[in-house]
Structure 1
Amino acid sequence: MGLGVRGLQFTPSRSVCAPKARRMLRTPRVSTGLCPLPVPSPVPASFSSQGVFPPSFPRDAAAGSLLAAAAAHPAEGPGCSRASPPPAHAGAELLPLRSPTLGALEFSLLYDQDNSSLHCTLIKAKGLKPMDSNGLADPYVKLHLLPGASKSNKLRTKTLRNTRNPVWNETLVYHGITDEDMQRKTLRISVCDEDKFGHNEFIGETRVALKKLKANQKKNFNICLERVIPVDRGGDVEERGKILVSLMYSTQQGGLIVGIVRCVHLAAMDANGYSDPFVKLWLKPDMGKKAKHKTQIKKKTLNPEFNEEFFYDIKHSDLAKKSLDISVWDYDIGKSNDYIGGCQLGITAKGERLKHWYECLKNKDKKIERWHTLQNENHVASD
């Protein structure tokens, strides 16, 4: 005689057999949309008589216990791991769900410490989600350093047409990457489908914390793409780009030589998505008109190259009392120039800015180059 568990239906003709010695009870699975959870089978009558459950333990209670245990320890199924996810709590960041249906991306990363650059080689993708009516896609890859100015530090590959298995073998390079950036920044790598007649569509992405990389050692990745919920980074300092500055105190000329080499990833200030940048220098305090210099204007670019040097006639001993304000501006005809970002070097500065100034004072007649992050700090109006 078969016994049924209350609330569950079974085919009457199916016989219930005692399990074999080395096997667990077979349990039908119910789809929940996540990982499959088992539902308990009817408990054979022989179980109670064989001492599996005490005679006083009701069979319905036994089935309920099995169901509770099954919920606490779900069976392993395709795409599911044995480890249960951590409990959610208020304010917890949702983790992305990797999905093989979106495709996989193969790429490599290399941090060139000597040249302050990050090389990302996009090799290929496989099994991308079809995005077009022909069952294919027109994929390209887009890079974005987080946190950072959203438009200015994005790089992208070429678009490959009508394929779900694109091979790019294309290297994109970020310049002005410092050791500090490598400790706190994340590289977002997105795969998108280009649409000639509409808005480009997002396929999937992956994110790599740069602190996982070792300097001057290439690291290869082959990762399933995922869909990620945007993370609020409102507490981060707003970055407006980077500037490469050289400092040298010349004993022969008796003064400080400041070089403005280049800027990268500047914030776009104009409607065309670019800026017309120039750089201002101000050595203060108490330097008068001789304290200010500015570079030439570079048109329609977010990555200008200046390669200009400026001389300050000042005693070496006086530099310990000075600060150098560096500000980048967007030139506008007929109206006030827009402030892009700036930084200050000197004894009152901190971190890399203080270190750069100190190395200049310590090493006379030696040119010291350093990248510095531009921030939306307090500033005076442009001349």
Structure 2
Amino acid sequence: FSGSVMTMESGDFGSVDVQGSIQFSINYVQKLREFHIFVAQCRDLAAADPKRGRSDYVKSYLVPDKIHLGKKKTSVKKKTLNPTFNEILRYRVSSEYLRTQTLVLSVWHHDTFGRNNFLGEVDTDLSKWDFDHTHMNDLPLRARVEEIHIWVKECKSLPLIRATIDPYVKFVLPDTSRKSRQKTRVLRRTADPVFNHTMVYDGIREMDLAEACVELSVWDRDKLASSLLGGLRLGAGTRSYGSAVDWMDSTPEEVALWARMAASPNEWAEAVLPLRMMSSAK
């Protein structure tokens, strides 16, 4: 797409040494058919950049989560390395399905400018869990996470398809549920929008990177409809989890960026990539 570029970074955060613990309990409520996670508190969390203050939260998700229940989050607690939450995260799910899952609780430092810091995580194999045990668990946080972070910084020289445009960026994993679809805010009257927006995909394993594809597309929001301005697809090839699909058409530049990201976990892979027209943008 001549004259248009998208600057983005993709990677996993690992800039803070993990320490501390998390206290939580889990329970399956048969009457409600709900899985409840009571997040009590965290203790002795690692300190991120002290200039930015403290703003921490806990995120939960189930893996492999084939029915796309999604992630849940606590509120953000500020100004403490020992945040107390006392919150319940709920999933409506059958007990049979639950026993095929692993619960992951991860702790994050929230940054309003887009770069959240990973502070540690714990996981619980629910196939082996005694659900009669509803007492509090106090587990040390560990330094591993399997997520993809995509940080869209800005676009330059977007095409003026009308007098002024109001651009935004849409993210999607085309082979997953609508819950994977996210978008940035709309920026008014600019062909050079600065988004500084981070989008996170949870529960993607290293082995999935060979057959996954992330689509980023830029749109102009008008009163009646949105118009596609261009996009790109980050992935490794043309097959999606064993099936040949026509939308996995990454260019060599897009494949190269994905490969650099996969080869360098816990580091940012940065690139400036040209936008192009996509015949079947999601």
TM class by shorter chain equals: 0.3 to 0.5
Q: Which of 1 and 2 has higher RCO (CA within 8 Å, sep 6+)?
A: 2
Indicate the structure (1 or 2) with the bigger Cα radius of gyration.
1
Structure 1 length-normalised TM? 0.35
Under a length normalisation based on structure 2, what TM-score does the superposition of the two structures give? 0.47
